[in-house]
Structure 1
Amino acid sequence: MSTEKYLKELLIQQLKQRLSRTGQELEPVKEPPPDLKIMSYGMVIGYIDIVTEKEISPDRITKWKELLSKGNKMIIIVPKEEKLKITDTLWKEGLAQKVSIGTYEINLFLP
């Protein structure tokens, strides 16, 4: 399994823990992107797409446009150092006002 796959699994577990406190559930999407559906009382209220550095592509942006055109909420989680790049891309595509952006980073501290 690739490092990116492990990273996504770790992030999904962290997101599930955080959202379970609010009564929302996360379910995997059969054909990603996006990676997860946000569910509340059995209804889809939005989507979460976890993006690694290598996954930012025109195909992915097209899929985001499709989901947003249906009125869905979208949260994109990107590496902290890629936030400016993805924000710029979303502005160029006209999606910046419709998407929430979250970031992640891994910090390793050694004694």
Structure 2
Amino acid sequence: MTIQSELSTIGQNTPFRMNIMRYKKVSEALAPYGLVLRNGVVIDETLPRNVHSVVGYIDNKKIDLEVPISLCDYPDVAAYIDGGRERRIKKFRKEQDEAAAWIKERNELYSKN
């Protein structure tokens, strides 16, 4: 069902249905990147649980149903898609390696005593 046909069949619950259609439109644009919209917050669900997964914010109530959505209009989301995800994972792995090295150093220090 196209947006035009949905708009023509709406009826009394117009604001509610329009919000659902906006949410669907944003979700469809985010889905190919593994991103999900929850309460206006864009989250990357493909990351490990202990990695910060909040990408940015999109107010789906301001989405125009007649115009194709462009994620480039949302700088946080666009930057994340254009390499931010890889940088975030790299930073996480670096922090994990540093923490492991510190723990190893500390354990060696205490094992000598």
Structure exhibiting the larger radius of gyration computed from Cα positions: 2
Q: Under a length normalisation based on structure 1, what TM-score does the superposition of the two structures give? A: 0.37
Structure with bigger helix share is 2
Q: Under a length normalisation based on structure 2, what TM-score does the superposition of the two structures give? A: 0.36
Structure with bigger strand share is 1
